[in-house]
Chains A and B, each alone.
Chain A
Amino acid sequence: MTAAQPKAWLARLLLALLITVTLLPFLSMFTAALAPSGSYPNGLSWPDEPQWSNFAKAFEAANMGQLLISSTLIVLGVVPISVLAATMAGYGLAKLTGGRNKWIYLVFVAGLTLPFEAVITPLYYEVRAFGLLNTRFAIILPLIGLYMPFSVYWMRAHFLNVPNDLTEAAQLDGATRWKEFWLVQVPLARPAIMSLTILLFLWTWNQFLLPVVLVRDPSLRTMAGALGAFQGQWGTDVPLLCAGSLLILTPTVLLFLAFQRHFVAALLQGSVKG
């Protein structure tokens, strides 16, 4: 039994390599961000005089304060409503409808693999007809709809695993049902709701296609959408672009580090179920 377990040192070496490959682009951006603005730095070289002021400059150039507010508003517009609607629908589909209504669920699931690009053109005309083009609602409202297949699928899967006798005890009218939903079901569903919230937050914050197509003014976009405009404007100034990109990805990375375990669990389960 000499090779009972794969060799630990080999495993660690492989992981160390993976970690290096993952971190190198960030490191390279970081050193470039410290080079004198407008210069052409080398891939990975510590500058003689690190220009920490580049970050302040990029903060201003990217209008970061405004962007943080804008992204937060969009997330607040999308995530709570999506989670609530999906939790209700997941509950309704798992517990309240019989086999006859399975088609509703199937219609939701059919949207799981839909690429956003498949509907972006008509969405543009639809949002324009609603008079919402170039407002944050142009991002918020479509995203709620686009997230429904995954969110409903996710919450229904949770409610299917809740034992039935809990609900059977309260086979009552709508108002009682509603109470039971809030007082019994929602508290029980907290882990599933938490994961869904994290996933929807990430996807909204990082959403790029919708802001680019539906909102012209970068200060009304998500962080990621604004980064596209920032690149268009400062693409030739490598240090400034790198500083700006690092700033723009900082909020999610900080949140990720703070809630590391929840994020990892959500991302892993999210892809397994998705």
Chain B
Amino acid sequence: MNDGTPSGDTRLRMSRLFPGGKNQKARATAILFVLPAFTAYAVFVLAPLVMSLYYSTLRWDGIGKARFTGLANYATVLTDPDLLSIIGNAFELVLYFTVIPVLLGLAVASAIRGHMAGTFGTLTRTVLFLPQVIPLVAAGIAWSWMFASSGLVNQALTAVGLADWTRGWLGDFDFALPAVGIIGAWVLLGLCTMLLVTGITKIDPSLYEAARLDGARPWHEFRYVTLPGLRQEIGVCITVTVISALASFDIVYIATGGGPGITTMVPGLEIYRLAFAHRQVGLASALAIVLMVLVLIAITPVQWYAREKK
């Protein structure tokens, strides 16, 4: 993020020495270049964001008169047991969306270090990226079918003699949320694996040689060479997966609609339900702002971890 480009510095000095004139023009040119993007951003992101903040202080059904209620909606979001458990669901999804892909990805990456060349490598890359290319909605439908009563998961359990375990997974109060989590893990696994596999090839092989000469065991090698070397890639994986867990919408909408009960309801879907089905625009907006802040809070330490001494 080096912004002190020579041209920028020079121009800054120049404009101090010669205000107006040619540099005024240069500035106008710069503004013209940035203006289209900034306009689109301001109209469709910044303005709605300000409106979200404003709505969040209202009690409003979206049609009639709105009443100002201060921070009451935030108090509701942070105390209502249902809303709290909905926020909790999002964090539980992080366990599946983030932890499974990152751990499995690390295991695969350290196992296949340097074995991704050739046709087999290309084939692997292609297949592992498929879940990233299809709409999340399609992944949701595919897995709804996998988890259905007569779906593949139950078929496999029966085949290995665990017929007692079979159930309609997405309709089960205890297993629906983990099942949704597995869908997310499936979608993100390939991306994380490929990021880590690519990252590990950038680690200097002599580090592994040195570790081995020092008599390092495979675990030590992983702990002291692989993990530090992959710091940045792991940071990226965690960032991407945590955001998609906390802000999940598509998969849950398709696979469970938030049910049974509210066991799989997540903030994204609840915002949609509150605003457009229950006409509680104020509360929906407060939840939206809280969700945005939670994402930022969750991401910030990961960014620090990834940036620290490269």
Same complex for A and B? Answer: yes
Interface residues of A (CB under 8 A from B): 1, 3-6, 8, 10-12, 14-15, 18-19, 21-26, 28-29, 32, 40-44, 82, 84-86, 88-89, 91-102, 104-105, 107-108, 111, 113-126, 141-142, 144-146, 148-149, 151-152, 160, 164, 167-168, 173-174, 177, 181, 202, 205-206, 208-209, 212-213, 223-224, 227-228, 231, 238, 241-242, 245, 248-249, 252-253, 256-257, 260, 263-264, 267-268, 271-272, 274
A145 contacts B142, C-beta separation under 8 Å: no
Could you show 14 A-B contacts with beta carbons less than 8 Å apart?
Answer: A11-B115, A15-B108, A22-B189, A23-B130, A25-B139, A28-B152, A40-B150, A117-B288, A118-B289, A118-B292, A119-B44, A141-B43, A202-B133, A264-B125
Q: Given the complex of chains A and B, what is the CA–CA distance between A264 and B130 in angstroms?
A: 10
Let me know if B151 is at the binding interface, CB within 8 A.
Answer: yes
B30 contacts A96, C-beta separation under 8 Å: yes
CB contact list, B23-47 vs A, under 8 A: 25-34, 36-38, 40-47
B2 contacts A101, C-beta separation under 8 Å: no
B134 contacts A118, C-beta separation under 8 Å: no
CB contact list, B41-69 vs A, under 8 A: 41-49, 51-52, 55, 62
B126 contacts A32, C-beta separation under 8 Å: no
Taking CB as reference atom, which chain B residue is nearest A208?
B250
Determine the chain B residues whose CB is within 8 A of the CB of A98 once the complex forms.
8-9, 11-12, 15
Q: Given the complex of chains A and B, what is the CA–CA distance between A11 and B118 in angstroms?
A: 14
Interface string of B126-156 (1 = CB under 8 A from A): 1111111111111101110110101111111
Determine the chain A residues whose CB is within 8 A of the CB of B292 once the complex forms.
114-115, 118
Interface string of B78-117 (1 = CB under 8 A from A): 0000000000000000000000000010011011111100
**Closest 7 A/B residue pairs (Cβ):** A145-B44, A92-B33, A43-B152, A115-B247, A96-B30, A224-B135, A89-B37
B41 contacts A249, C-beta separation under 8 Å: no
Taking CB as reference atom, which chain A residue is nearest B29?
A174
Whether A113 touches B296, Cβ cut-off 8 Å, given contacts A42-B155, A271-B195, is yes
